[in-house]
């Protein structure tokens, strides 16, 4: 079914028209390699430095602290492996959480195979890290704390400023995966004591394949990719100038529009969440009720399975996602939903709808009309619901 209603913005976003327009000249007109000394190369270099300023300004960093990468996963890998390598003589302990993106978790698993010790912090039922747990996990060997700014599945925003304060008191670097948060909630690396921060372009209206990492001046880190002298030898490879221009533009737009966008999305999100919870029995919101990403709605429906919901929504032209095993390609449901204490069967029945400003109130109405029918139809077919409805009689 052709998608008419797109509610999977946490997976990826369409490239914004202003962003595409800003990028286009750098494909065919200003195609120069930024390392050159001739006119056309200078255009590339100039555009790149402008983008660096745009990204830096959005998070209160210096342009010299921004390095462009191929995306969020690369930035996450670079932060963890780069700091671990650079500080291995200082210590071998890293602290992260159980709800991180796999770009963090799988990198940590790799580091564990190479002499590092990793503590994976539990989170509370809303998905928040407890500061006392973090404090208790810190030991003299701790070299890095990596806690995501906001969770991609359940939308919970972590107390990064408090975590950063604690990390800096203890002299430990703080990395945050801000792939979902960037452009959606305010970020200030100074105020929040952030040392490293991962950014992805395609989550905020820039194209796929471009990202950035903020590295505070003075932070010790080794590069992931060796080669040319690009990005002050921190990230080799001819720069993706159109992508970089797009990222800069998208970040600039998002930062300028943030207060308004946030208010609009939160209103729409809360109408969607409350509408669903009121209309459908045996449903539960996943993630923090208020400290959550403006566009994130994640709800579990008992007795049914997520992929079935997605297929029926797709048949109506609605694009959404789920934390069920069947959508993860494994037999286990989402590690995030399990970490907030959902039993497997409820984790299988989760639905994530992520909104952005291209969604409309009419689309929310459509979901609120159709979703109860979809859930009822699947429950009618479910042997688990049969037991419950018999007990109720």
Partner 1 sequence: MEYSAKVMDHFMNPRNVGEIEDASGVGTVGNAKCGDIMKVYLQIEDGIIQDAKFKTFGCGAAVATSSMATELVKGKTIQQALEVTNKAVMEALDGLPPVKVHCSCLAEEALHAALWDYAEKNHIVIEGLKKPVNDIDELHHHTEE
Annotated binding site: 72-73, 152, 180, 200-202, 238, 326
Is there binding between residue 112 and partner 1 (CB under 8 A)? no
User: Is 326 an annotated catalytic residue?
Assistant: yes
d(CA 70, CA 53) in angstroms, rounded, equals 18
**With binding defined as CB under 8 A, does residue 343 bind partner 1?**
yes
Which residue number, 283 or 382, has a Cβ lying nearer to partner 1?
382
Least CB distance to partner 1 at residue 200 (A): 24
Q: List all residues 6 or more positions away from 85 whose beta carbon is below 8 Å from its beta carbon.
A: 221, 222
Binding residues for [2Fe-2S] cluster: 326
Residue 281 found at the interface with partner 1 (CB under 8 A): no
Both tokens assigned to 172:
């430990």
The β-bridge partners of 177 are 198
Q: Least distance to partner 1 from the beta carbon of 331, Å?
A: 5
Question: Using the rule CB under 8 A, is 326 a contact of partner 1?
Answer: yes
Which of 254, 184, 174 is CA-nearest to residue 214? 174
Q: Which two tokens stand for residue 61?
A: 């960093």
Written as six digits, the tokens of 353 are 């709808």
Please state the φ and ψ torsions of residue 157, each to the nearest 5 degrees.
Answer: -95, 125
Could you identify the residue written with the tokens 């595409």?
Answer: 20
Q: State how beta strands 117-121 and 66-69 pair.
A: unpaired
From 215-223, 243-251, 328-336, 352-360, give the range in contact with partner 1 by CB under 8 A: 328-336
List, in order, residues 6 or more apart from 37 with CB less than 8 Å away: none
- Measured N-to-C along each axis, helices 241-279 and 361-380 cross at an angle, to the nearest 10 degrees, of 60
Q: How far is the CB of 301 from partner 1 (least distance, A)?
A: 11
CA–CA distance, 47 with 23 (Å, rounded to integer): 10
The binder of partner 1 chosen from 240, 300, 324, 350 (CB under 8 A): 324
Q: Is 383 in the site for partner 1 (CB under 8 A)?
A: yes
| Eight-class DSSP state of 287 | S
Q: Which of these segments, 108-116, 192-200, 327-335, 368-376, binds partner 1 (CB under 8 A)? A: 327-335
**Residue indicated by tokens 């255009």:** 43
With binding defined as CB under 8 A, does residue 29 bind partner 1? no
By CB under 8 A, is residue 289 in contact with partner 1?
no
Residue 370 binds to partner 1 (criterion: CB under 8 A): no
Query: Given the complex with partner 1, which of 234 and 347 has the nearer CB atom?
Result: 347
At its nearest, how many Å lie between partner 1 and the CB of residue 282?
Answer: 13
CA distance 48 to 3: 35
| Identity of the residue, 214 or 385, whose beta carbon is nearer to partner 1 in the bound complex | 385
| By the rule CB under 8 A, 128 interacts with partner 1 | no
Q: What is the per-residue binding string for partner 1 in 191-230, x denoting contact by CB under 8 A? A: ----------------------------------------
The label of the residue with tokens 């989550």 reads 203
Q: Rounded to an integer, what distance in angstroms lies between the CA atom of residue 306 and that of residue 349?
A: 5
Residues forming the active site:
326
Footprint of partner 1 (CB under 8 A): 303-308, 311-312, 315, 324-326, 329, 331, 333, 343-345, 348, 380-386
């Amino acid at each position: 079914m052709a998608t008419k209603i797109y509610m999977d913005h946490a997976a990826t976003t369409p490239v914004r028209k202003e962003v595409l327009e800003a990028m286009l000249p750098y494909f065919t007109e200003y195609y120069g390699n930024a390392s050159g000394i001739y006119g056309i190369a200078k255009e590339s270099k100039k555009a790149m430095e402008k983008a660096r300023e745009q990204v830096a300004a959005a998070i209160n960093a210096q342009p010299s602290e921004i390095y462009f990468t191929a995306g969020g996963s690369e930035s996450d890998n670079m932060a963890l492996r780069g700091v671990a390598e650079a500080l291995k003589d200082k210590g071998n302990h890293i602290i992260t959480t159980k709800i991180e993106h796999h770009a963090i978790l799988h990198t940590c698993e790799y580091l564990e195979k190479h002499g590092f010790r990793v503590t994976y912090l539990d989170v509370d039922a809303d998905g928040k890290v407890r500061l006392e747990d973090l404090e208790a996990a810190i030991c003299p060997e701790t070299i890095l704390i990596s806690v995501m700014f906001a969770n991609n599945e359940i939308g919970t925003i972590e107390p990064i400023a408090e975590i950063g304060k604690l990390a800096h008191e203890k002299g430990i670097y703080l990395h945050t995966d801000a792939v979902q948060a960037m452009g959606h909630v305010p970020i200030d690396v100074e105020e929040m004591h952030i040392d490293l921060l991962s950014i992805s372009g395609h989550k905020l209206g820039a194209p796929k394949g471009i990202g950035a990492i903020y590295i505070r001046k003075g932070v010790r880190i080794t590069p992931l990719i060796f080669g040319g002298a690009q990005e002050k030898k921190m990230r080799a490879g001819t720069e993706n100038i159109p992508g970089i221009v797009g990222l800069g533009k998208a970040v600039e737009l998002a930062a300028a529009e943030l207060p308004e966008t946030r208010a609009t999305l939160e209103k729409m999100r809360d109408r969607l969440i409350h509408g669903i919870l009121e209309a459908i029995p045996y449903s539960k919101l996943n993630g923090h009720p208020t400290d959550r990403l403006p566009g994130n709605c994640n709800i579990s429906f008992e007795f049914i399975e997520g992929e079935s919901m997605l297929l029926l929504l797709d048949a109506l032209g609605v694009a959404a996602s789920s934390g069920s095993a069947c959508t993860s390609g494994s037999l286990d449901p989402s590690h995030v939903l399990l970490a907030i204490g959902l039993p497997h069967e409820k984790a299988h029945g989760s639905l994530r709808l992520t909104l952005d400003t291209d969604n409309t109130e009419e689309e929310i109405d459509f979901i609120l009309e159709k979703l109860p029918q979809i859930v009822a139809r699947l429950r009618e077919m479910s042997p688990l619901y049969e037991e419950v409805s018999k007990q109720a009689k």
